[in-house]
Amino acid sequence: MDSKVMDLENFIKRVISLKNRTITDEIFLLIQHDRDLMQNYLRLVENEGLNQVNRQIGKAVKKAYRLNDDEIREDDPHSTLIRSHQIFK
């Protein structure tokens, strides 16, 4: 048996932590791959500006999921709508 097997509580914490690291990118991918969301996003960017829209989405993700900032940022997200995003613990 592998000596690195975690107990259930630590396993769950690890899985959730890994998800938290990518959640912002996944939200932007959701927008990017949904025609209606993308059209609305582009209209908002036109009216509010790219930085404002992206910043507010990021803040809303953090608040909605009650996340805490990690010390690093993701500088190579999968979504083409953002250049980087905050990673959460």
- Note whether residue 1 is domain-resident: no
What dihedral do alpha carbons 72, 78, 79, 80 form, nearest 10°?
Answer: 100
- Note whether residue 3 is domain-resident: no
Q: Which two three-digit tokens encode residue 86?
A: 């905050």
- Note whether residue 2 is domain-resident: no
pTM above 0.85, yes or no: no
What value does the mean pLDDT of the chain take?
A: 93
Domain count, the chain: 1
CA atoms within 13 A on the CB side of 26: 10
Whether residue 68 contacts residue 88, with contact meaning beta carbons closer than 8 Å, is answered with yes
Cα–Cα distance for residue pair 69/21, rounded to 1 Å: 10
pLDDT digits (tens, 9 = 90+) for 31-71: 999 999 999 999 999 999 999 999 999 999 999 999 999 99
Higher pLDDT among residues 84 and 3, named by residue: 84
pLDDT band per the 50, 70, 90 thresholds, residue 5? confident
The contacts of residue 67 (CB under 8 Å, 6+ apart) are: 20, 23, 61, 88, 89
The pLDDT of residue 2 is 55
Domain hosting residue 80, numbered range: 8-88
- Smallest CA-to-CA distance from 84 within 51, 47, 43 is with 51
pLDDT band per the 50, 70, 90 thresholds, residue 3? low
- Note whether residue 50 is domain-resident: yes
Q: What percent of the chain has pLDDT over 70?
A: 97
